[in-house]
Amino acid sequence: VELAAVEPELQATPMREAKPAATHKPGRRPLAAHLPRIEVRHELPESERRCGCGETLVEIDTEASEQLNLIPARVQVIRHLRVKYACSGCQQTVRIAPAVPQILPKTNAAPGLLAHIVTSKYVDALPLHRLETVFERHGVNLSRATQAAWMMALIEPLTPLLNLMQERLQASGYIRIDE
């Protein structure tokens, strides 16, 4: 710059850069369209459906507002009834319907309960002692030791599924550290 005897053009720079304008509109976002809707219709009482002139008011439109609701988990017992049959002639033959196959034989854990515990522990990072208190609120005594034993016992029946997931993951072109 000195040799060429040219002064550089100076520009004043602000202390902070201007933030770009927000691209979203303020206010509430609409509730997810895929969620089921239950419509509750609120009507005026019959006594208020008359105008001051004596005519009956007619419905012209409705105004809608939506609230998000959560139905809490429901704990239930599935009771399997296996019917027994006997021969009335010789009275020596007795047969019973086969037992329903279970993912963890000799336990009282249904697949839905096991899926909930696995999801709560490994996806939602909820420790088993907290799950124990959640079950207590529902009136169910399910100790963390029992839950831990079930988690360890699930390794054997779920190994083929885990192997398949690992094969698909390794076949993908991009693996991040969380995977």
Q: pLDDT, tens digit, for every residue of 143-169? A: 999 999 999 999 999 999 999 999 998
Answer whether 44's CB lies under 8 Å from 50's CB: no
* pTM strictly above 0.75: no
pLDDT at 68: 87
Whether the per-residue pLDDT at 139 is higher than 80: the answer is yes
pLDDT tens-digit map of 42-92: 999 999 999 989 899 999 999 998 988 888 888 999 999 999 999 998 889
Of 10, 79, 5, 66, residue with least CA distance to 36: 66
Whether the per-residue pLDDT at 179 is higher than 60: the answer is no
pLDDT tens-digit map of 165-174: 999 988 988 8
Q: Which residues contact 118 (CB under 8 A, 6 or more apart)?
A: 151, 154
The dihedral region occupied by 106, where left means phi > 0, alpha psi between -120 and 50, and beta the remainder, is left
